Structure 1
Amino acid sequence: MLVLKNSGQTSLKYIEVKDLNSWKTRNIDLRDYDTVAFDELDDDVWVLVPGYLKPAYEAINKQSKLLEELIGSDNIYNGIQTSANNIYIHTASKEDETYVYFSKDGKTWKVEKTLTRPYFKTSSGSDNLNSYRPFKPNSFVIYPYLKTTSGIEFVRMDKLKAEFPFMHEYLMAYREALSDPKRDIKPTPETDSEWYRFGRHQSLDKCDVPSKIIVGVLSQGNKYAIDYYGTLISSGGTAGYCMITLPDEFPYSVYYVQALLNSKYLEWYSSLIGEVFRGGYIARGTKVLKRLPIRTIDFTKIEEKNLHDQISATQKDLIRIQGEIDTNRSDHRVTDPLQREFDLKKTELNQALVRLYGLSDMDDQIPLISKMYEAN
């Protein structure tokens, strides 16, 4: 609800209604309000925080750096865009050292493995993307590019035909569909024989790294998985994925960054600067990820370093345990004690995060986003 006055103002008052009946009867504490000066607002997203949560918000900011400042803006990026996923992305029926085999349109194909890359296709099963599940690609993508000393280079038609005849045969079978002007290939192809390029060239040189965090753009949390397979993923508005790569010689563990991104602190922060949909789904694209505050560590202080290492080790243990649970899903004699171990480790992680942020009584006031929106 927006209440306006027909007179000049220099600030606004903001309140977040937690209990509708209390609000109707004006049973409201003054500390629930926050006063925001207009000169604190800009053309970007307005971050409006209830008054009682403002101290926690400011405390988190004070001890943190924005993710983009910590790792560099270029290390937070979108996935690939083929503009023809039904032609490029497949599930392998089998593979050997040289070829990948798959079926499409009632025909079995084989293509040279060199021109493929592992790919993750959205899944709702036991292989779904989850912060506490070992990540594995579940499909592959046709990839008409090669990594050279000059970077990622498109495999041109003469080379494709001479050195990759099976891939050439497959792509030629779908030339008409791939040549459709609606694919709108960017940058614009230099010749008429480049119709099998991806729709966009973005991120091709960034995905082939030893490790990266893959982020589900629209999620209710627990959507930060660590990839060690050089997996490609697709962007595409709220339905796609983003990626985070840590720089070389970076002192922070990838598990530490993952644990913080997945914590209640940054879930809440994401809800403040991102778009929240019904059911507590938060859109966290690259714009939101870049602005998330990462608690910095003074590695010269043994207590802080130990806390960083504990959080990293516990997060890694949780992923290992969840992997064992998934492997033994049908045997409760195995999974029941594993689940108890997982729950204990999760409690240990939460306690370590409480110590990390040191918010004291303010910590309990930070809302769990899943609880805030569960009735909606």
Structure 2
Amino acid sequence: MKKIIPSIKESARKIPFDEYFLNQIEKWRLILSEDLILNSPSLLQEELNYLVQKLINRIIFLRICEDRNLEKYENLKNIVSYSELKKLFLKADIKYNSGIFDFIDDEFSLKFVINDEILVNIFKELYYPNSPYSFSVVDARILGEIYEMFLAKEAHIVNKSSIEIVEKPEVIESRGIVPTPKYIVDAIIERTVKPKCEGKNPIELSQLKIADISCGSGSFLLATYEYLLNYYLEWYIQDGVEKHTNELFEHTTGTFYLRLEEKCKILLNNIFGVDIDSQAVEVTKFGLLLKTLENVNSSVVATLSTRSRTGVLPKLSKNIICGNSLVDSNYFYFEPKAKVQENIYYRVNPFDWNNEFKDVIEKGGFDVIIGNPPYVRIQNIVKYSPKEVEYYKSKYSPFVTANKDNIDKYYLFIERAKYLLNSEGILGYIVPHKFFKIKSGQELRRLISSNKNLSEIVHFGVEQVFGTKTTYTCILVLQSKELDEFKVNFVSNIDDWRNGKNVQIEKYKSNYINETPWIFLHPKLDKLFKRINSENPVKLEDITEIFVGVQTSKDKIYIFKPVSEDNYFVRFLDSSGSIQEIEKSILRPCIYDEEKIVPLSRIKPNSYIIYPYKIIDNKAIPYSHEEMMSLFPKCWDYLSNYKQDLLSRSINLPASKSKEDWFYLFGRSQSLTKFNENPKIIWPTLSLKPRYAYDENNIVFTGGGNGPYYALQPKNETKESIFYIQAILCHPIIESIVQSRGSPFKSGYISHGKQFIKKLPFRTIYFENSSDVEAHNRIVELVTHLIELNEKLLVTNVPSKKEILHRQCKEIKNEIDYIINSLYKFDADEIKLSNL
């Protein structure tokens, strides 16, 4: 039994406290869960997680109090049984009465038996030399971050007898938990809480109501509480310490601190939080109470616990509450049985703001709402809470932002927070900035812009604030009242921004934005883009057809790289590594996972795709299975081997066709006729620069709205050459328009998807104008020559010759850009702007 908890004395000295302590409590969770389910096999899963969480919280709280000299040192270490521990907890309940040790509401915890030796081993791990850390100096914020990682998982009961620790479904669908960095929390508080406090006295401040409606482990509320404590303290000191002996006390060092009673009053008056995770709610309370006990000595606690009938710490059950911030009592109209069926009610956990925070709502709402709401796409919420999604989109839901497809949960939190603010309220969130531009963000953009609520954006662009988790974010600050203008702080380097260096802030009038995509530009670029658009009303979508690739829904079966080929057959390795041979006549050349697409070049295929369709009168007609067997027997045998795998897909078929018979067709019928004779321009969706390549060989590619490729063909009535169109797309100023519109991705890649390029201003050629015709024809000549040079570059191996070809290509590209500059009337200063 002594080896139940492995010794980590040596490793503890080598790793940071947060990592060490997270490992420690995760081990405790597993060991305690296994012991509880062994002794109480009838425990439900939520009961098990509750018991373990409560026990760990209580043990850590008392251990921290020991190192702060509020409890006798080694109290826990001297405990030898669970019955003794329960007695210690009951004494702590009388002393602190904080809810942590509340055994009136929590009689449940007293009923269970825990192996004494397990507890003894846990306690040993909390003291030197097994633990080299002092709990007296552990910041409540650090503990909160540790708990946030801890709460991403929970104990699952497997076969009623064993325990498995798994990630919670909502964590899986949000791609993991990463605590919000302190500098982000502080930056949001500076923009929201700080302006609400400035110039106010304690009486006025006592009316301030600040909330985080998805509080998680409480990092935002802890930081806000700390800010308020410091503000109150400074105010009292500045006003004269002799006037405020009831609020302040002087330490033997001469330093003044807030009295415990004053801190409790601030906490109860000012701080509010909600989270759907009951464990997170307990952690938030835990952190706030530990913060309250900072700089408090044992004599104060002893005096107050003797004098007070209610204990020394406040109960936070009316301030920090478990519930679903997005779902209120309207849900019962949507699903009436939820009111009477306990399992549904528990799962949805509706939260009635008017009842739970009645005083706040009756007075108009909260003054400040801050936080980091969950980022979960609605399609992923469906996987673990489908009814909730149905409600958001139903007539009973108050959310206008839910009317669009592909929304994210943070849209709803922004909308809910706006509703909960009073008429002078401020909202500060860290959220993805993708909603600025994408289609699903239209209603959210409308909601914010139509009411002129936008106050500030700190735009992090492609800079990452969440460490290893790639998320493109901004700080969004909204106000309830109408504003004449807002500002955007463009951050190109996180460290510089944190240190106040290279700050670039632009101001915009509130009517600059509406429900259309938000594009925040340098004012000079904005002026240039507006001129280009006004002088060139024809857009790219007017003269071309932009389209996505085919969608097989099983690319690994349909697409392969050839090992060898002849005029009739292509040979390749299948998924098992065996050589397969297929008729060449059912294959099309294809690009797949091709990263080396050279701009102003002729694209080369790197794969083949099985194409079970014939094109007749511009219609895609599937080969019948009889045709497949007679014309392409090798291909038929190959696809038949994968029939079960292919049947597992969704296949877009008319009602007259059965999936069983037509299993070999693509999953979707999109773009099937687009790869037939007509030249096209192909480009990758994600790119650092314009990479538009020419194709005249019916090369096929796959993909949907997110790529990986797009293509375009000139419309039949378009007179301009495809090479002229290709040159326009590769011009640096036209590309800068795409860069300003497109969503950013990791490593600076920008989306060149259809929605970002279709409105590009196109300089039409007036063919009755000889100078226009001359410019057009020269560009076509130069582009076709450049395409040939790029082909030569691919097969040239001599470095000196490659260098000459590169210089020649550059000279030709410069002349192309020079002619386009004259067509669009770009002057030298405007050309420089493309580098902004």
The answer to whether TM tops 0.5 is: yes
Deviates more, 1:2-11 or 1:338-347: 2-11
In the alignment, which residue of structure 2 is the partner of 1:35?
509
Aligned pair partner of 1:108 in 579, 597, 616 = 579
Q: Counterpart in 2 of 1:54?
A: 526
Q: Distance in 1 between matches of 2:561 and 2:525?
A: 47
Which residue number in structure 2 is paired with residue 194 of structure 1?
Answer: 662
Q: Which residue of 1 aligns with 2:650?
A: 184
1:67, distance to aligned residue in structure 2 (A): 1.0
Q: Secondary structure at the match of 1:146?
A: strand
Letter in 1 for 2:482: G
SS in structure 1 of the partner of residue 597 of structure 2: coil
Do residues 321 (structure 1) and 792 (structure 2) align?
no
> 1: distance between equivalents of 2:829 and 2:508?
16
Aligned to 1:246: 714
Q: Which residues of 2 match residues 192-341 of structure 1 at below 5 A?
A: 192-236=660-704, 238-328=706-796, 330-341=797-808
Cα displacement (A) at 1:257 = 0.8
SS at match of 1:37: helix
Q: Bigger CA drift: 334-343 or 75-84?
A: 334-343
Q: Do structure 1's residue 9 and structure 2's residue 477 form an aligned pair?
A: no
Taking the aligned partners of 1:236 and 1:249, their CA distance within structure 2 comes to: 27
Task: Out of 197-206 and 100-109, give the one that drifted further.
Answer: 100-109
Contact 2:551 2:703 in 1 (8 A): yes
Q: Which amino acid aligns with 2:804?
A: P
Give 3-state SS (helix, strand or coil) of 1:195's partner. coil
Deviation string, structure 1 residues 321-341 (Cα, Å, up to 9, x no partner):
12112211x212322222221
CA shift digits 1:76-133 (9 cap, x unpaired) = 1110111111111112233333332223233322222221111012234xxx212133
2:517 is aligned, of 45, 57, 61, to 45
Task: Please list the CA deviations of residues 331-357 of structure 1 after superposition, one character each: whole Å capped at 9, or x if unmatched.
Answer: 123222222212221222222222222
In the other structure, the counterpart of 2:825 is 358
Rate the CA distance shift 1:148–1:16 in 2: closer, same or farther, 3 A. same
Question: Which of 538, 549, 561 is residue 79 of structure 1 equivalent to?
Answer: 549
- After TM superposition, the score normalised by the length of structure 1 is 0.85
Alpha carbons of structure 1 residues 267 and 341: separation in structure 2 relative to 1, 3 Å = same
Q: Secondary structure at the match of 1:226?
A: strand
Amino acid at match of 1:53: L
Q: Do the aligned partners of 1:238 and 1:285 also contact (CA within 8 Å) in 2?
A: yes
Are the counterparts in 2 of residues 60 and 295 from structure 1 also a CA contact under 8 Å?
A: no
In structure 1, the residue matched to 2:539 is 66
Identify if the C-alpha distance between structure 1 residues 152 and 36 changes in structure 2 by more than 3 Å, giving closer, same or farther: same
Amino acid at match of 1:222: P
Offset at 1:308?
1.9
2:815 paired residue among 343, 348, 351: 348
TM-score (norm 2): 0.40
Q: Distance in 1 between matches of 2:669 and 2:592?
A: 19
Q: 1:107 to 1:13 in 2, by over 3 A?
A: closer
CA distance in 2: counterparts of 1:295 and 1:303, whole angstroms: 14
Cα distance in 2 for residues equivalent to 1:131 and 1:225: 5
One-letter amino acid matched to 1:144 = P
- Displacement of 1:188 in angstroms is 6.0
Find the partner of 1:123 among 566, 571, 594: 594
Q: 1:144: which partner in 2?
A: 612
Deviation at 1:185, TM superposition (A): 1.4
Q: Secondary structure at the match of 1:109?
A: strand
2-structure distance, mates of 1:210, 1:292: 23
Cα distance in structure 1, aligned partners of 2:747 and 2:542: 31
Distance change in 2, residues 1:78/1:116 (3 Å): same
| Contact in 2 for aligned 1:15/1:34 (Cα 8 Å) | no
Distance apart, 1:150 and its partner CA: 6.8
Deviations 1:271-328 (A, max 9, x none): 2221022433111212222122222222211112222222222222222212112211
Query: How far off is 1:15 after superposition?
Result: 6.6
Could you say if the C-alpha distance between residues 35 and 17 of structure 1 is closer, same or farther in structure 2, counting changes exceeding 3 Å?
A: farther
Report the alpha carbon displacement of residue 222 of structure 1 after superposing the two structures with TM.
Answer: 3.2
Where 1:147 maps in the other structure, the secondary structure is strand
Q: Which amino acid aligns with 1:340?
A: R
Question: Structure 1 150/334 Cα, relative in aligned 2: closer, same or farther at 3 Å?
Answer: closer
| 1:3, distance to aligned residue in structure 2 (A) | 5.1
Runs of 5+ consecutive residues of structure 1 not aligned to the other structure: none
Q: CA deviation at 1:179?
A: 1.5
Larger displacement relative to structure 2 (235-244 or 216-225): 235-244
Q: Distance in 1 between matches of 2:702 and 2:732?
A: 27
Per-residue deviation at 1:231? 0.8
- Structure 1: how far apart are the matches of 2:610 and 2:748? 35
| Percent sequence identity over aligned pairs | 26
- 2:484, 2:509 within 8 Å by CA — same for their partners in 1? no
How many angstroms apart in 2 are the aligned matches of 1:268 and 1:96?
45
d(CA) in 2 for partners of 1:236, 1:244: 14
Alpha-carbon distance between aligned partners in 1 of 2:824 and 2:811, rounded to the nearest angstrom = 20
Q: What SS does the aligned partner of 1:206 have?
A: coil
Give unpaired runs (5+ residues) of structure 2.
1-457, 459-475
Residue in structure 1 matched with residue 104 of structure 2 by the alignment? none
- Please tell me the root mean square deviation across aligned C-alpha atoms, in Å: 2.7
Question: Does residue 567 of structure 2 align to residue 97 of structure 1?
Answer: yes
Q: Provide Cα deviations, 1:197-221, integer angstroms capped at 9, x if missing partner.
A: 1111100011213200112101111
Indicate the SS of the match to 2:744. strand
AA partner of residue 348 (structure 1): E
In the alignment, the residues of structure 1 paired with residue 483 and residue 713 of structure 2 have an alpha-carbon distance, to the nearest angstrom, of 44
Bigger Cα displacement from structure 2, 348-357 vs 254-263: 348-357
State the shift of 1:13 in Å.
Answer: 5.1
Q: Note if contact 2:573-2:580 (Cα within 8 Å) is conserved in structure 1.
A: yes
Letter in 1 for 2:579: T
2: CA distance between counterparts of 1:364 and 1:51?
15
Report the more deviating stretch, 168-177 or 278-287.
278-287
Specify the code of the residue in structure 2 equivalent to 1:331. Answer: V
Equivalent AA in structure 2 for residue 100 of structure 1 = V
Residues 260 and 280 of structure 1: is their aligned pair in 2 closer, same or farther, counting only changes over 3 Å? Answer: farther
How far apart, CA to CA, are the structure 2 residues paired with 1:28 and 1:48? 12
